[in-house]
Amino acid sequence: MSAVPLLKVRDVSKFYGSRIGCRNVSFELYPGEVLAVVGESGSGKTTLLSCLSTRLMPSSGMIEYHMRDGQYRDLAHMGEAARRFLMRTDWGFVHQNPADGLRMTVSAGANVGERLMAVGDRHYGNIRASASDWLRRVEIGEDRIDDQPRAFSGGMRQRLQIARNLVTSPRLVFMDEPTGGLDVSVQARLLDLVRGLVHDLGLAAIIVTHDLAVARLLSHRMMVMKDGAVIEQGLTDRVLDDPREPYTQLLVSSILQV
């Protein structure tokens, strides 16, 4: 059990003019921990994820990240170049729509290899070998390495996006509705894959989802958001089996049983 948190979040708020995106969110995330952020559309989940991943600047609050050199850095006071380097190496971001996270007009192999080149890898043979290794790990046939993601199905695109993110061995991955828009059998395959990778690589992850079954399967801890605030948080099975807040009880009781 690692003793220090990877991410420390204190009182983070984001306002869009007078409208609230998210307010006073605080938590800590440890290495290897998977945190699910759930809530309905407009509850502030995606705003929070954008603030955490420096895609949006919070209106107030502090987010500190434990760098590989052992120091905590305040993300708001980090230079643009340092933030981008973090995004390319130590972090991953899996978008709901793979087209937002992939380059659709270059080959699958290049999509994966590009992240490696960004961290200074220059040897073509090595890059291609790791690209094809990662395609295999996300169950994309090696014969597809030179195809563009335009020619891939939705599920394959999403798996390619995951490979692209994980090839640099990040320590923290943000995922925004990673299984949204996929049909159930494709979703099951992706969930199984993500679950295995998170476990094998010891990744920390923050997963935004409105699907409580996805949260149950993938996460250790859960935060429930409503109107921009975190209204309940705790161990995932505790929140789902014994929800305390009225809104969480409503969410849990609204799950369709199969």
Kindly tell me which of 13 and 233 has the beta carbon lying closer to another protein: 233
Residue numbers 194-223 binding another protein by CB under 8 A: 195, 217, 220-221
| Interatomic CA distance for residues 78 and 76, integer angstroms | 6
Minimal CA–CA distance to 53: which of 10, 83, 97, 16? Answer: 83
Binding flag, residue 15, another protein (CB under 8 A): no
Beta carbon of residue 72, minimum distance to another protein (angstroms, whole number): 19
Binding flag, residue 245, another protein (CB under 8 A): yes
Long-range contact set of residues 154-160: C-beta below 8 Å, sequence gap at least 24: 154/98, 154/181, 154/182, 154/186, 155/182, 155/186, 155/187, 155/189, 155/190, 157/98, 157/99, 157/102, 158/94, 158/98, 158/182, 158/190, 159/190, 159/193, 160/98, 160/102, 160/108, 160/111, 160/112, 160/135
Beta carbon of residue 237, minimum distance to another protein (angstroms, whole number): 4
Kindly tell me which of 9 and 127 has the beta carbon lying closer to another protein: 9
Per CB under 8 A, the segment of 7-15, 100-108, 137-145, 191-199 that binds another protein is 191-199
Residue numbers 30-59 binding another protein by CB under 8 A: 30, 33
Kindly tell me which of 88 and 216 has the beta carbon lying closer to another protein: 216
Coil, strand or helix at 124: helix
Kindly tell me which of 111 and 233 has the beta carbon lying closer to another protein: 233
Contacting residues for 219 by C-beta, under 8 A, at least 6 apart: 34, 35, 36, 207, 236
Strands 172-176 and 91-94: parallel
Beta carbon of residue 147, minimum distance to another protein (angstroms, whole number): 25
Kindly tell me which of 142 and 245 has the beta carbon lying closer to another protein: 245
| Interatomic CA distance for residues 94 and 175, integer angstroms | 5
| Sequential DSSP letters for 95-118 | -SSHHHHS-TTS-HHHHHHHHHHH
Per CB under 8 A, the segment of 81-89, 122-130, 157-165, 248-256 that binds another protein is 248-256
Binding flag, residue 95, another protein (CB under 8 A): no
Token readout for 113 is 């290899």
List the one residue from 69, 238, 255, 256 that touches another protein (CB under 8 A): 238
Kindly tell me which of 87 and 186 has the beta carbon lying closer to another protein: 186
Binding flag, residue 8, another protein (CB under 8 A): no
- The residue ranges that bind another protein (CB under 8 A) are 1, 30, 33, 188-189, 191-192, 195, 217, 220-221, 234-235, 237-238, 241-242, 244-246, 249-250, 253
